[in-house]
Structure 1
Amino acid sequence: MIGTMHESHDVCALLLAGGQGRRMGGQDKGLLNLGRYPLVVHARERIRPQVTEILLSANRNHDLYRGWGFSVIADEEEYLGTGPLAGLYAGLAHATSSLVLTLPCDTPFFPDTLLHRLFQALSTRDAEIVFPVSGGHSHQAFLLCRTHLKDSLKKYLDSGQHQVLGWVQSHR
């Protein structure tokens, strides 16, 4: 069925848990429990049937995440502390799929149709990057992009820029 959790794409889901948790008193958001499981486990289970690969971008607590069965990647040393684009760069470097979908670890209840809708937009618009917009607000934390953009992202980060929207707007 189209738009259901039964549909799968050749996409790497990249769960972003690399932040410093400043707004949460320094806590690792991905490991905060919702019910009996950490937030990141809820997000993983929701996206798992829709993708072929799942990576977790984290810069601390690697052993705890691995204990929950995650393949953990860290930001490159030169980009540590520069935000979600550093995690995306690491994901683009490690993904075996031609597309990467970023998902924040602390938003486990994204729509079941998110990947399907982003995939459709990417395909029908001949785009390189897509993200959802609702109510006039863009949500670049949920980003679907082509892995060939890795070199472009490296140049952007090396120039000292770290704004997600700034990099996104430089592509189709």
Structure 2
Amino acid sequence: MSFCNDNTEEVSALIVAGGKAERMSGKEKGLQCFRGVPMVVSVAMALKEVTSMVAVNANRYQEDYESLGFEVIADLADYQDVGPLSGVMAGLHNAKSQFLLLSPCDSPCVSSDAFHALLDAIKREPDKIHYIVTASGRHPLHAVLPVSTALSALSTFLARDMKKSVMAFYELHGCRALHWSEEAELINVNYSEQLE
């Protein structure tokens, strides 16, 4: 089963899996099974409800992700080691769409409803980055970005000598919080014991 194609669409998606998985004892989080399914596949299935173009940002185990049918996008050489923004930059740089949806690989319970809500939000305000916030706080890697302006703004942001915070970048660009009531959908599976 393929999760991506070469057609240009209004929306593409990137699953961010480029981290070092230090809290998962170095295991590649996206490939770990949660309820019998690799987490990256669970996230992809939710994203596939809104776009046929779903890629994975990964710097390790790339062949394993490819074997699951994903296009794999590695961090760009000039933008490595800046945390999740490395993956965001890679996704924006490679996007063939007007908007880019983001989701982390370790949120296997996320629903397509959340992604539909993000897309509804950006269609109302297409010049802003929209990200999810719940009662427990902000979820900046559940977001949708306007590709052209975000790519330009992120290039400027990463050239500055400052903390490479996702939220700081969003605020520089201009952003809106989308309040989401389904807290359980956004649980992050960071530890091996959560996979049981």
Q: TM-score, normalised by structure 2?
A: 0.78
* Correspondences of 1:76-95 after superposition (within 5 Å): 76-95=76-95
2:49 counterpart SS class: helix
Q: Structure 2 vs 1, CA of residues 23 and 160 (structure 1 numbering), >3 Å: closer, same or farther?
A: farther
Runs of 4+ in 1 over 4 A off after TM superposition: none
**Unaligned stretches of 5+ in structure 1?**
1-8
Once the two structures are aligned, what percentage of the paired residues are identical?
30
1:126, distance to aligned residue in structure 2 (A): 4.6
Give 1:150's aligned residue.
Answer: 151
Q: Distance in 2 between matches of 1:98 and 1:126?
A: 9
* One-letter amino acid of the structure 2 residue matched with residue 128 of structure 1: K
1:35, distance to aligned residue in structure 2 (A): 3.7
Q: Structure 2 vs 1, CA of residues 109 and 136 (structure 1 numbering), >3 Å: closer, same or farther?
A: closer
For the Cα contact (< 8 Å) 1:46–1:108, is it kept in 2? no
Task: Please identify which structure carries the higher strand content.
Answer: 2
Q: Distance in 1 between matches of 2:144 and 2:159?
A: 22
1:136, distance to aligned residue in structure 2 (A): 6.0
1:109, distance to aligned residue in structure 2 (A): 1.2
My pick for the range that moved more, 154-163 or 63-72, is 154-163
Q: TM-score, normalised by structure 1?
A: 0.88
**Unaligned stretches of 5+ in structure 2?**
1-8, 175-196
Give 1:122's aligned residue.
Answer: 122
* One-letter amino acid of the structure 2 residue matched with residue 42 of structure 1: S
Give 1:25's aligned residue.
Answer: 25
Q: Structure 2 vs 1, CA of residues 118 and 66 (structure 1 numbering), >3 Å: closer, same or farther?
A: same
1:169, distance to aligned residue in structure 2 (A): 0.4
* One-letter amino acid of the structure 2 residue matched with residue 158 of structure 1: A
RMSD (Å), alpha carbons: 1.6
Give 1:163's aligned residue.
Answer: 165
Instruction: Provide Cα deviations, 1:121-160, integer angstroms capped at 9, x if missing partner.
Output: 2222354200011116111010100001212101211214
Give 2:57's aligned residue.
Answer: 57
Q: Distance in 1 between matches of 2:52 and 2:69?
A: 15
